[in-house]
Structure 1
Amino acid sequence: MIEVLLVLIVTALATSVPGVFLVLRGLSMTTDAISHTILLGIVLAFFMTNDIRSPWLIIAASIVGIATVYIIELVSRTQLVRQDAAIGLVFTALFAAAIILISKYSGNAHLDMDVVLMGEVLFAPFNRIDVFGFSIPAALWQLSIIMLVNFAFIALFYKELKLTTFDPKFAFIAGFSATFIYYALMTLVSVTAVAAFDAVGSILVINFFVAPALTAYLLVRRLSAMIWLSMLFAVWNSVIGYMIGFSYDLSIAGVTSFTALVTFMAVFIFSPDGWLNSRLRAFRQKRTFTRAMILMLMNERGHTRLTAGEITAHFNLNRKQFDNHMEHLLINDYIEKKNGQYTLTERGEEYTHYTRIKYELPI
């Protein structure tokens, strides 16, 4: 079963690297479209060859995948519809055509829709080829080659990809062909999706392209770091998904996709810039601002001494919030309490004076 894990890892690496640029360019859903529309190429080639393992299936699927990109770009460039609408239109039309052809004309053919969509990587070792005298899964060989091609493309055109991704106008001025880089990238995405589609199914293909890159994006801002971290998350999701799926007799593709979601959510919530820390920072900022405004109010002419009722009414505080703020200000010697009234200390006056200067408020 180690071959199943190797197929998963190689598939994850082959897809995660170009997936970084898809995420950064806002083309994540294009992967969804490609991974589904290539089914039309598979079906058409199967009708011509009657061989589910014919190399023409991969060729036809790649052509349809590239055509999908061209059609989406052609429709969106008219500026009559947004790119997301163009993706939805082309994706559903071509995929629906494939479904109609399968349901109508391939009743006796071995085209299992559940396997096609959900994927079953456990079947990958059954289709084998001999390479240098060793029998290995065909998917492992194909995806290893595609992985190396993708790595080579990223390495050779790293500067061009970086420029056209982050600053296409400057790339054009500098003489780089953004169009060539775009279509070269999307061609590799299409070919990669075809090979991965056969090995793990369309759902896991989309997950491998998008999830590791999105997870890495939450943690780093350097492109090179994002690429390496995306590969690390891709391998992590594959290994954990395989171990859980194999141990509990679950769909490995499904568990791997869910593992990617759990990993993403963990980073989304608990990372330094994640949801939890953002909420905590917002809470602390609001608390600090309220305390500063209480001191500013006390510093205003005619409000040097304030009662608890005046403060709670002015800032719409409940009793618990009021006690929390005033306890902090009292402990830190910003205010003092006499006869049920609160007034600024010398330190409190210095703080309000510094705050007015810092934010250029009238003194």
Structure 2
Amino acid sequence: MSFDQNAFLIIFTASLISISCGLLGVFMMLRKMSMTGDAISHAVLPGIVIGFFVSGSQRGLEVIIGAGILGIIATLIINWLKTKAKVQLDASIGITFTLLFAIGIILINLLAYKVDLDQECVLYGEIAYLPIDLWITDAGFSMGPRITYLAILNLLLVSTFIFLLYKELKLTSFDESFGMVIGLPAGAINLALMSMVSYTTVSSFEAVGAILVVALLVVPPATAFLWTKKLIPLIKLTCGLGIFISITGYYLAYLVDSSIAGMMVTVGGLLFLGSAFVQYVLPKLGVGTSLPVNPLER
């Protein structure tokens, strides 16, 4: 493959993942649960280890299934601690992901000490390897990068999920109590959202790394929120920022010969800081005006 082909594949796949994460991240941010994605990315380690021993491969379907189940379990534990045990949300997240992550490390030390499986190889991917991680059919034909197909599937699933439950997600994100009063199953909707976040996180961080997945869940929605207080423009701007971060991060990493994922996260962080400076610092200096803090509208 030429450099241009590799660049296109990496940018295209990163953009798909950034849109998927951003769409979910908007509703996670509105629910004040943005860092749950970080908890899930670590809590799934026991599921990855179990899936590895079932399939004998780090890339088997069993690994994704095992990690997805652990992600849902982590979500249920966090939700139970928050609603039933009355533990603060941040404490619930911290307790859950550290406990499950520690169990995963113990399983690796006990069961996988003779094989190439550790917390780094199962948690931190490298998107630069995407063009050589090919989907080979049984007949020996190359169908292209495996992760690209997975990213397309993720985007289709996330888009369908949000399209079907848009009104319910909007109501329960803005006012969960009101949603329950009018008969919406707020708990089931929250579990469905967290399950989708769990699946998207697990299926994405093998390619781009856990840190970049968490950044894409949090940074684009938070940056977009500084510029608009309406939900539809917020979603659109979040997707646009995700694509911009993917393109700019890749070419900056290429120019300075650095980590692609690391540069994408850096670009996202600088975008957020720049937006915060324009919106809240410049007005105090008498330059420009900041957005009014109004309740979110449609």
1:129 paired residue among 129, 132, 135: 135
Aligned partner of 1:223 in structure 2 is 231
Is the partner of 1:269 in helix, strand or coil? Answer: helix
Q: Which moved more, 1:208-217 or 1:102-111?
A: 102-111
**TM-score where L is the length of structure 1:** 0.73
Residue 125 of structure 1: CA displacement? 2.5
CA RMSD of aligned residues (A): 2.0
**TM-score where L is the length of structure 2:** 0.88
User: Which ranges of 4 or more aligned residues in structure 1 deviate by more than 3 Å?
Assistant: 112-118
Aligned partner of 2:29 in structure 1 is 23
Residue 143 of structure 1: CA displacement? 1.6
Gaps of 5+ in 1: 285-363
Residue 104 of structure 1: CA displacement? 4.1
Aligned partner of 1:82 in structure 2 is 88
> Which letter does structure 2 place at the counterpart of 1:243?
Y
Q: Which moved more, 1:65-74 or 1:247-256?
A: 247-256
Residue 39 of structure 1: CA displacement? 2.0
Alpha-carbon distance in 2 for matches of 1:48, 1:184:
27
Matched, 1:48 2:54: yes
Deviation track 1:196-245 (CA, whole Å, cap 9, x = no partner) reads: 11111111110011100000011101001100000001011111111111
Alpha-carbon distance in 1 for matches of 2:90, 2:215:
18
Aligned residues: 279
What does residue range 179-218 of structure 1 map to in structure 2 within 5 Å? Answer: 179-218=187-226
> Which letter does structure 2 place at the counterpart of 1:124?
L
What does residue range 1-363 of structure 1 map to in structure 2 within 5 Å? Answer: 1=6, 2-111=8-117, 113-129=119-135, 135-270=143-278, 274-280=279-285
1:196·1:205 contact (CA, 8 Å) conserved in 2? yes
1:117·1:203 contact (CA, 8 Å) conserved in 2? no
Residue 119 of structure 1: CA displacement? 2.6
> Which letter does structure 2 place at the counterpart of 1:83?
L
> Which letter does structure 1 place at the counterpart of 2:42?
H
1:116·1:201 contact (CA, 8 Å) conserved in 2? no
Alpha-carbon distance in 2 for matches of 1:78, 1:281:
48
1:14·1:144 contact (CA, 8 Å) conserved in 2? no
1:116·1:202 contact (CA, 8 Å) conserved in 2? no
Alpha-carbon distance in 1 for matches of 2:248, 2:150:
23
Alpha-carbon distance in 2 for matches of 1:153, 1:4:
25
Residue 89 of structure 1: CA displacement? 0.5
Deviation track 1:95-131 (CA, whole Å, cap 9, x = no partner) reads: 1221232244323433354454443111223222268
Is the partner of 1:28 in helix, strand or coil? Answer: coil
Is the partner of 1:123 in helix, strand or coil? Answer: helix
Alpha-carbon distance in 2 for matches of 1:165, 1:111:
39
The percentage of aligned residue pairs carrying the same residue is 35
Is the partner of 2:44 in helix, strand or coil? Answer: helix
Gaps of 5+ in 2: 1-5, 290-298
Alpha-carbon distance in 2 for matches of 1:281, 1:139:
48
For the structure 1 residues 78 and 172, does the alpha-carbon distance in structure 2 shift closer, same or farther, using more than 3 Å as the test? closer
Is the partner of 1:151 in helix, strand or coil? Answer: helix
User: Rg larger in 1 or in 2?
Assistant: 1
